[in-house]
Amino acid sequence: MRDHHSSEKEYNNLNKIKTTLRAFGRHKKQKEEDIAICECKYDISQPESACGETCLNVLTSTECTPGFCLCGYYCKNQRFQKCEYAKTKLFKTENRGWGLLADEDIKKGQFVIEYCGEVISWKEAKRRSQAYEIQGVRDAFIISLNASETIDATRKGSLARFINHSCQPNCETRKWNVLGEVRVGIFARQDIAIGTELAYNYNFEWYGGAKVRCLCGAASCSGFLGAKSRGFQEDTYLWEDDDDRYSVEKIPLYDSAEDEPSKLLNTMIINSSSSEYNVGGMTGVKVDSENQFLSTSFVVQSLDSVPMDVVNETKAEVNEESKLCSQDTEEAFLHKNGMISRIQSSNVSQKYQIGPKSVPKKRSKKYPNGRTKNLAQKQVDAKAVALLLPTKEAQEEVLKYEEMKNDVTSQLESLYDEIRPAIEEHERDNQDSVATSVAEKWIEASCMKLKAEFDLYFSIVKNFANTPPRAYGQAKPFEVDNQTEINYLTN
Ligand SMILES: C[S@@+](CC[C@H](N)C(=O)[O-])C[C@H]1O[C@@H](n2cnc3c(N)ncnc32)[C@H](O)[C@@H]1O
């Protein structure tokens, strides 16, 4: 098991702070016109009148600004500013290092503690988490603040950084607007009795670096810490030692709440030795039990866990499908999952198979005859198709549209990388919605991609429709006898 002395030392060296620091750039000075003023008035005979549950600011998760709230001293809506934390105590867990427990009974909804640390950009978070890895700091304490910023509590933080993860937590993070800035607090999801360990779900929050096996023990345990977080998806390095939490077995990589690990385990996988279908040098393609060709996300699964008859059967099915699969599908797999090659290159993962994960259920449609129609898009290999066309012009036209389609597809992918923080922010916090400008950009790029696909398929269909059946495949590429050439390119 892991040695926790480093944590102890870290705690003693920890620069304990009582607020969130902006590491780069100053705290914003709130403009007077931006200050939200509630309508509460303190009535001495009714203590609840001072900014309680019905306070307009409380309802919008905004703290009152001192000097502007009519309740003055009695205002109860300045919990972050006044550090009104619940009593908590640091303790050593059996197998998860330090933890924090309730040192008094805590009520459902109660503010427990602020997650304090240095506010840094995502880019800086990535840089730091790599630096921490090099320095051997395993438990980076970086969580998401918003689309562009994170909070790093590794060197400077509050006790909140010692709260462990649970897939069935008694606390949760909530964002509050405090004097014009977003701050993160840990709040009780339920009544918590004194002596109970506090835990929240790291899923969308954590930018911890290494993949850590979860030991929360919940029935619904997702297997790894922060499995749905940005950090988990961007970084795939694995600690290699004898600590259970850092070993690599059946690491599910998924990016949506729909794709629960339990569903992934129902999928099948082909043998890595298949030479007929090799995605960009990666071995194996996963198909689901309905023989559908799959989307572009991946799971890593131990071959040991797959019965051999399933492996062989699936392999045959994939061979058929592979004929329809074009190189751009492979590229898409690689592009979206560059991380996979990093896992694969690590010697600990040599025995794992890598393939796209199952299509979410909503992509399949059941027909009255009980058959399932695969709504996942199949990729046409335009280059192979072009070779079947008898004229150079027809071939060139198809290839031109193919190129245009590839261009807009990669534009859409880069746009996705750009706006992903905003999308994740939306997923993470139901109160937010993705900005209209982000949605518009996305819709425009998606429409361009659909149009490019339509143009390509239209060009293929048109050229085939205009080709007499016996001419298919007769001509070699770009070797058409001009004398006998039929003009297939009618518009
Ligand atoms: C934010 S820290 C929490 C405090 C930590 N336990 C410590 O001793 O410093 C996150 C780290 O705690 C450990 N941890 C937290 N929750 C865990 C869980 N459910 N299962 C296994 N390890 C956990 C992991 O090592 C993780 O990197």
Distance between Cα 278 and ligand 1 center (Å): 38
Q: What is the mean pLDDT of residues 39-67?
A: 91
pLDDT tens digit sequence for 122-143: 888 888 888 887 887 766 678 8
CB neighbour class for 420 (10 Å; exposed up to 12, middle 13-18, buried from 19): middle
Residue type for position 171? C
Share of the chain above pLDDT 90, in %: 21
Atom 22 of ligand 1, residue of closest alpha carbon: 96
pLDDT tens digit sequence for 373-411: 343 445 678 888 888 888 888 888 889 998 998 888 888
d(CA 264, CA 253): 9
d(CA 134, CA 422): 29
Which residues line ligand 1 at a C-beta cut-off of 6 Å? Answer: 7, 96-99, 139, 141, 161-162, 164-166, 208, 212, 214-216, 225, 245
pLDDT tens digit sequence for 162-214: 999 999 999 999 999 999 988 999 999 999 999 999 999 887 555 555 567 88
ipTM field: 0.99
Lowest mean pLDDT among 86-90, 305-309, 415-419: 305-309
Distance between Cα 229 and ligand 1 center (Å): 15
Compute the mean pLDDT over every residue in the chain, rounded to the nearest whole number: 65
Name the residue of 10, 12, 96, 245 to mutate for ligand 1: max ligand atoms within 8 A of Cβ.
96
Can you tell me which atom of ligand 1 is nearest the CA of 93? Answer: 6
- Do residues 352 and 302 lie in contact, with contact meaning Cβ atoms separated by under 8 Å? yes
Can you tell me which atom of ligand 1 is nearest the CA of 202? Answer: 16
The whole-model pTM stands at: 0.50
Atom 26 of ligand 1, residue of closest alpha carbon: 139
pLDDT of 281 strictly over 50: no
Angle of helix 327-336 versus helix 338-345 axis, rounded to 10: 70
Of 62 and 229, more confident:
62
pLDDT of 26 strictly over 80: no
Name the residue of 225, 239, 246 to mutate for ligand 1: max ligand atoms within 8 A of Cβ.
225
Distance between Cα 98 and ligand 1 center (Å): 7
Cβ neighbour number for residue 363 with a 10 Å cutoff: 15
- Do residues 144 and 424 lie in contact, with contact meaning Cβ atoms separated by under 8 Å? yes
**DSSP result, 473-485:** TTSPTT---TTT-
pLDDT tens digit sequence for 332-364: 333 333 222 222 222 222 222 222 233 333 333
pLDDT at 74: 93
Can you tell me which atom of ligand 1 is nearest the CA of 167? Answer: 19
Share of the chain above pLDDT 70, in %: 52
Q: What is the mean pLDDT of residues 448-469?
A: 86
Of 457 and 25, more confident:
457
pLDDT of 236 strictly over 50: no
